[in-house]
Amino acid sequence: MTRLIPILLLIALAALPFAGPAIPGGVYITRLAVIGLLYIASATAWDLVGGLTGQVSFGHSAFFGIGAYMTAWLVGTGWPMPLTLLPGALLAAAYGALWGWPCLRLRGPFFAIATIGVGEATRLIALLAEGVTGGATGLTLSIGGWEHTAYYLALGLVVVAFALSWLVRRSSLGLGLSCIREDVEAATSIGIKVGWLQVQALMLSAAVVAAAGGIYARYLYYVEPGDVFSFNRGIALILMATIGGLNSKWGPAIGAVIFLGLEQGLAAWFPQGHLGIYGLLLIGVMLYEPNGVVAFGRKLRGVASAAAR
């Protein structure tokens, strides 16, 4: 039964754009779901580096922005939109290798702060490279095409992200990354190629996040450095994965859904207090369940099964 649920959910999600107009608020939910799906895919991909490898990256905004811009450029030269995601993913993976190779030797807060530097430097370069990126004004995409293109691409990307996460975790790569997370020195001593494995994880994760950026560009019909390379995007991925539960199959996805609901719901209904309410919730989660919702769920299940016995 449990095995059927993912398939049923996938079918339900695939039907949503058509069922949308019939449900109250369904049109809005369909639009919001695009962002939700992009968040789920990105957070799941981020977790390959931030959770599985234990290297917290603030710099994934760089990949998101590269993907978004690649799509904006290529669509502008007449490429069919879905095809633009591939070059975006490849370029982002290459960019990840470029800075990941030197930076992934750092650990803990050193790596985290280095990624802040990378993310912000990328944003500033994009802002200054006016001829390429349009500078602060950004680039607009022509409006049109099938209304639900972005939705189904995002749904597809979620499937890809989950599959990737599942495959990596089952492979020797995943095993090696776990060793690195637990103890770098021990990992090195048993012959794990610490540098190369981490770079691989970063490249895979970069590719998925870049594809999400590309779909986002098509969704917004507009890209601009301050938005797609924003520091807040990096923070958002960390929040999603941590709220849901780092290094878990469903954690980042659950976190992404909670994050989106809070982000949108609070801003829509509490214009005066959304920042503070959000901050208080975050404090609460970190105090009572720093390992995220997934850990909380496990505890609940433990209590339930104990009660059943």
Partner 1 sequence: MFRLFVVLFAVGIAGCGGPATPAVLNEIILGATLPLTGKESRAGLYFKNGYTLAVDEINAAGGVMIQSVGRKLPIKLEIVDDKSDSMTAVQLAEHLITVRGIHALLGTYETKLVLAQSVVPERHKIPYVTGGGAASEIFKRDFKWVFGLLSSVEAMAATFMDWLAVEQDAGHLARPARIALAWENTAHGQDFRAGTEQRVAAHADRFTLVMNEAFELNSKDFTPLMLKLKAATADVFMSDTHYPDFVLQHKTYLQMGLTHPVVAYGPRGTEADARATLGDGVNYLVSGQWWTQELPYPESRAFVKNYTAKYGDVSSYYPGLAYETARTMIAAIQTAGTIEREPVRQALAAMDRDGAILPGRRVYFPAKTGNQIDNPSVLVQNMPGGTFRIVYPPDAATGAALVPPPR
Partner 2 sequence: MTDSATLASVVIFGVLLGGVYAAMAYGLGLIYGVMRIVNLAHGAVLMLAAYAAYALNTRFGLDPLVASIVIVPISYGIGMLLYSVLVRRVVHGPPMASLLLLFGVGLVGRNIAYLIWTGDDRSIALSYNLTTVDLGVPVPVTKLVIFGFALAGTAALYAFLHWTHTGRAMRAVARDPVAAELAGLSADRISARAFGVGTALAAFAGVLLSMLYVINPEFGSALQLKTFCIIVLGGMDSIGGILAGALTLGLAETAAGVYGGTAWQDLVSFILLVGILVTRPGGLPSFFRR
Q: Site residues (CB under 8 A) for partner 1?
A: 2, 5-6, 9, 23-29, 31-33, 35-36, 124, 127-128, 130, 135-138, 140, 142-143, 216, 220-222, 224, 226-227, 230, 232, 248-250, 253-254, 257-258, 260-261, 263-265, 267-268, 271, 274-275, 293-294, 297-298
**Closer to partner 2 at the Cβ: 50 or 213?**
50
Label residues 17-50 b or e (16+ Cβ within 10 Å = b): beebeeeeebeeebbebbbbbbbbbbbbbbbbbb
Binding mask 218-237 for partner 2 (x = CB under 8 A): -------------x---x--
Binding residue (CB under 8 A) for partner 2 from 5, 22, 143, 287? 287
* 182, 276, 301, 303: residue in contact with partner 2 (rule CB under 8 A): 276
Interface residue with partner 2 among 16, 29, 32, 116 (CB under 8 A) is 116
For partner 2, the closer of residues 10 and 113 by Cβ is 113
Is residue 290 near partner 2 by the rule CB under 8 A? yes
Tokens of 30: 């369909």
Q: What are phi and psi of 223, to 5 degrees?
A: -125, 145
Q: Which of 246, 256, 257, 294 binds partner 2 (CB under 8 A)?
A: 246
Q: Which two tokens stand for residue 126?
A: 């994009």
**Residue 177 lies near partner 2 (rule: CB under 8 A):** no
Name residue 36's beta-bridge partners: none
**Which of 38, 56, 154, 211 lies at the binding interface for partner 2 (CB under 8 A)?**
56
Helix (H, G, I), strand (E, B) or coil at 108: coil
Residue 279 binds: one of partner 1, partner 2, none (C-beta under 5 to 8 A by kind):
partner 2
Backbone angles phi, psi at 140, to 5 degrees: -105, 145
Q: Distance between CA 150 and CA 148 in Å, rounded?
A: 6
Q: Which lies closer to partner 1 via its Cβ, residue 25 or residue 109?
A: 25
Query: Do the beta carbons of residue 173 and residue 197 sit within 8 Å?
Result: yes
Closer to partner 2 by Cβ: residue 135 or 145:
135
Q: At 194, phi and psi to the nearest 5?
A: -55, -50
Torsion of CA 211, 279, 225, 103, to 10 degrees: -70
Residue number, 196 or 222, with CB nearest to partner 1:
222
d(CA 214, CA 220): 10
Minimum distance from residue 269 beta carbon to partner 2 (Å): 15
Residue 140 interacting entry, from partner 1, partner 2, none, C-beta within 5 to 8 Å by type:
partner 1
Determine the Cα–Cα distance for residues 245 and 291; give it in Å rounded to an integer: 5
